[in-house]
Amino acid sequence: MVTFDNATLKSWFEENTDYLTGAKIQKIQQPTRREFIFTLRSSGDARKLYININPQFFHICFMSKENEQKRLIDMPQKPPMFCMQLRKYLENSRIAKVNQPEYERILEFYIETYNELSEKIYLCLAIELMGKHSNIVLYNHDTNVIIGCAHNVGAEKSREREMAGGLPYVYPQKKNNFWYSDINSLCKLSGSVNSNIDNYFADVIYNDKFNKLCDKYVQFVQKKLKKIKNSLVKAEKQCVSKEKAETYRLYGDLIMANLYNNSDFVHTINVFDYENNKDISIALDETKTLKDNANNFYRLYNKAKISNQKLAAFLRELKVEKDYFEQLLYSIESAENINDLVEIAQEIEPDKKFHNEKKSAVAPEVIKTDEYTIFIGKNNKQNDYIVSKLAKDEDFWFHTRDCAGSHVLLRTQVLSDELILKCARLAKKHSSGALSSKIGVIYTKAKYLKKPPKANLGYVTYSNEKEIIID
């Protein structure tokens, strides 16, 4: 990880001083608690100044459009109070002067503006890029009183330098009396210092957000799967075995067949089991008649039968949910970029908005030649799109059996064994069983697919299927 040292800030400052001096602040945004965007305009050229005070990624640069998409993942919510303060005091004002205190990782924007009495005043926006102490402070240069901070620093955090509205602004204690340059300093690279900073940190931030989003969604799905699997185990234990239920019915029948050969209110009854061709002894409730005991066995049989029917339906629902979340987990683990996760996120966080959500389109992978076209879904949303929108009756649908994976759709005029094998291998490759030695792949015509009402994304039932085993 490259450190944003004071030498890099100095190089960036020298490279952009001419643009910053006299630039008009048109718009101020705060997408997250530690990210700020200032839209500046100077000499007819508009740029977006990006400031990050995250202790891991603290830096400043002008963003390119490409790197803006990498940095801004979450959709900005209601702007925090400090952002509103910045807008109140700084929007539509001009930067009169910029300065970097010697040997410091601090950049100062001196802004000429007017107070409520239309008196000219100077405000200073101090951007402090100092690791875990990074901050943005707006203070009145004439009185040296702080108006607001990105985050306040109380006495419990720092006895030497408290930061909050109404307190005087003081510089941090000096540590270096020289321009420090890290061994991997970005200012040592060739080309534009701003481009080096922008490209490097955009990639680092993008990868960090991608990995954190992946981990968050994996934990969410694994938690759901664990709960479903526990419910499956409990439900299966509650099922009365078919043999036991049939035994209740048999005992009832045998007792009724021997009512007149035995006495009521006895512990046991010895009868001949005509179904299994043997003599058996049946334990009874001695407080009841033989007929009541028989009716009790019939009640147990009916109860077990109804209970098993309800549990069987519940088990089917649980298994469908299990398959759905296993498919979701596979989609997350095979996601290659943020756009893949944004599509998946709608199933996990339906209320959350993403910066690039509108720009992300449902785009399955396509393999096309003159003889055929193959569509491969990356996630539930794309799988559902393939089945609901793209599939035609005579197309062929492929999917791994009992295994999470992509929907593979084949469109061709002539179906050959080679094409079937190719699609089956693609279905295996894009599944959680990709590394298995052998796996079954089912295929059928799209007209035999059916999506049940209110089914989860990507879920279908099928009929008239065939199976091919892929090594």
> Where in the chain are the domains?
6-188, 216-351, 361-470
CATH code assigned to 6-188: 2.30.310.10
Task: Determine the pLDDT at residue 358.
Answer: 52
HSE-CB for 364 with a 13 A CA cutoff: 28
Q: Model's pTM, two decimal places?
A: 0.78
Rounded Cα distance, 397 and 377, in Å: 12
Q: What is the mean pLDDT of residues 312-324?
A: 90
Residue 398 has pLDDT above 70, yes or no: yes
With a cut of 60, say whether residue 360 has pLDDT above it: no
Range of weakest confidence among 20-29, 119-128, 157-166, 268-277: 157-166
**For residues 360-372, average pLDDT:** 84
> What residues contact residue 427 under an 8 Å CB cut-off, 6+ apart?
398, 399, 400, 405, 406, 408, 441, 470
Which amino acid is present at 323? D
Q: What is the Cα–Cα distance from 467 to 48, expressed in whole angstroms?
A: 56
Q: Are 68 and 13 in contact (CB under 8 A)?
A: no
Tokens 């008649």, located at residue:
289
User: In the predicted model, what is the mean pLDDT of the chain?
Assistant: 90
pLDDT at 161: 87
Q: Which of 175-179, 223-227, 265-269 has the lowest mean pLDDT?
A: 175-179
Query: For the chain, first and last CA: distance in Å?
Result: 43
